[in-house]
Structure 1
Amino acid sequence: LVKLAGFLLTSLAAWYLGYFFAALIPKEIITASIADLQDIGKKPVLRAPVPKRQKCDHWSPCSPGNYAYRILSGGGRAKLAKICFEDELLISEEKGNVGRGINIAIVNYKTGKVKSTEFFDMWGGDHSEEMMTFIQNAPEGSLLLMVTHDDGSSRLKNDAKKLVEELGSKEIWNMKFRSSWAFLAAKGFKLPDNIQKEKINHSDKTKNRYNGWPAEIQIEGCIPRDLI
């Protein structure tokens, strides 16, 4: 009986003290404390931030005062070439202006806007002189972005190769049947030495991903806007 009486007395005292302090402490504090205790058992959900997409799908952004470019050659029959400049597709399957042969986009360097695009089929016809005229008509202060899809060499004449060489190409004379080739040139000014300007591939290094055709290649980078 003594123990029972002591237990009841202690319980009554605890209840009274709890009631007393509850009356003194604001309700908002009590509610927040209960919520904090409920959150203790919850595991935090960690979510990696979604990476920000960069211009022309670069891995890292170009610094302010630079143009972004990406030139991707074709791969096999179905994977068509693409030319992107400042996050705008200048030549692509989506735009419906890419074709077999050598694809060329001319961009006004000062404005960064495309002036004209064209492709020249070097397998199905004699378009070498047309390509020369297209390049020669590009105004001074132009960027020329060139890329192949399928074959760009079979009917490419030497005078056209010489013209592209004068723009700075080191690989135009090495182009073979269905070589993958990408090239960036400037007319009337000089591009920096430390940016990607040209790449070529003659063989399928992907174990016949494209049934013996050379695998696609790409060049990309950032061009300063204050070269002229």
Structure 2
Amino acid sequence: MIYVLRVGPYVIHTKQPERRILKFFLIVAFLVTSLVLIFKILQINHQFKLENVIDLPYKEPDNKKSSLHATFSSRGKCDLPHPCPEEHFTFTINTGAANVIGPKLCFDGEWILGGKNKPGGPGINIVIVNGQTGEVISTDYFDMWNADVEPLVEFLKSIKNGSLVLMVSSDDPATKLNDEARTLITQLGSSYISTLGFRDNWIFVAGKGIKTIKPLEKHIKNDKEVNKYDDWPEMLQMEGCVPRQKG
């Protein structure tokens, strides 16, 4: 079909569909030319070559670890913020909270007390460890409210030189304590056992006959005016490192 366009006094005859087809081919030619030019530029700059962009697995630099890996690898055993030095044992100890939550004790990456399978008990919980190998020799708890103090005294007397001694309170550690038991614990290096009272919270770590270990201790008094749990003080935590004994 032929269309007639009138421009001023003149009349122009044109075939409109043919002009549209011509315009389409010009656009296609322009796009093809642009793509060719872009491809040439990419070939010139080797940083943008196709083989550098796809199908290459990510390889982390040898001298730089991911932040997630660094976060996990920088933590120590027993969930310490940082690893202990070489030839040291790691420990984390939590007292009980009131008479509801029992004590927890982790030594060198193993939870000795805590959880359903390894619960502590009310009173004074004690873990004895070989100072050279880190092997747990014995663990027990002594109820200082309902039970007698004599089993605790005999246990303290049985501790051998070269042993690490870790003690942690739960509920009430002091009501049945007598002078003999307090003296034996004082000889291990405790400064607070002489004043340990009803429902105080207490943590103690020492080495029997090991001069290279300085006793570590935390103590908080049961004071109803400042207690966190009414009739019980807040829970205590201690974490740290103790040197392995040389044979």
Band of TM-score, shorter chain: 0.7 to 0.9
Q: Is the 8 A contact 2:92 2:238 kept in 1?
A: yes
Is 2:162 the counterpart of 1:141? yes
Within 5 A, what are the aligned runs for 1:188-203? 188-193=209-214, 197-203=216-222
Is 2:194 the counterpart of 1:173? yes
Change (3 A) 1:161 1:33: closer
**Residue number in structure 2 paired with 1:211:** 230
**Residue number in structure 2 paired with 1:117:** 139
Change (3 A) 1:192 1:115: closer
TM-score, length of structure 2 as denominator length: 0.71
What is the SS of the residue equivalent to 1:154? coil
Could you tell me the percent identity over the aligned residues? 36
Distance 1:198 1:70 in 2: 13
**Residue number in structure 1 paired with 2:58:** none
TM-score, length of structure 1 as denominator length: 0.76
Q: Is the 8 A contact 1:204 1:215 kept in 2?
A: no
What is the SS of the residue equivalent to 2:120? coil
Q: Which amino acid aligns with 2:154?
A: T
Q: Is the 8 A contact 1:77 1:150 kept in 2?
A: yes
* Residue ranges of structure 1 left out of the alignment (5+ in a row): 36-46
Q: Is the 8 A contact 1:182 1:199 kept in 2?
A: yes
Q: Which amino acid aligns with 2:83?
A: P
Q: Which amino acid aligns with 1:138?
A: I
Q: Is the 8 A contact 1:181 1:200 kept in 2?
A: yes
Change (3 A) 1:205 1:223: farther
Change (3 A) 1:191 1:209: same
Distance 1:153 1:57 in 2: 30
Query: How far does residue 207 in structure 1 lie from its aligned partner after superposition?
Result: 6.3
Say which structure, 1 or 2, has more relative contact order (CA 8 Å, 6+ apart): 1
* Residue ranges of structure 2 left out of the alignment (5+ in a row): 1-21, 55-65
Query: How far does residue 55 in structure 1 lie from its aligned partner after superposition?
Result: 0.7
Which stretch has the larger CA shift, 74-83 or 173-182? 74-83
Whose radius of gyration is greater, 1 or 2? Answer: 2
State the number of aligned residues: 205
Distance 2:223 2:77 in 1: 29
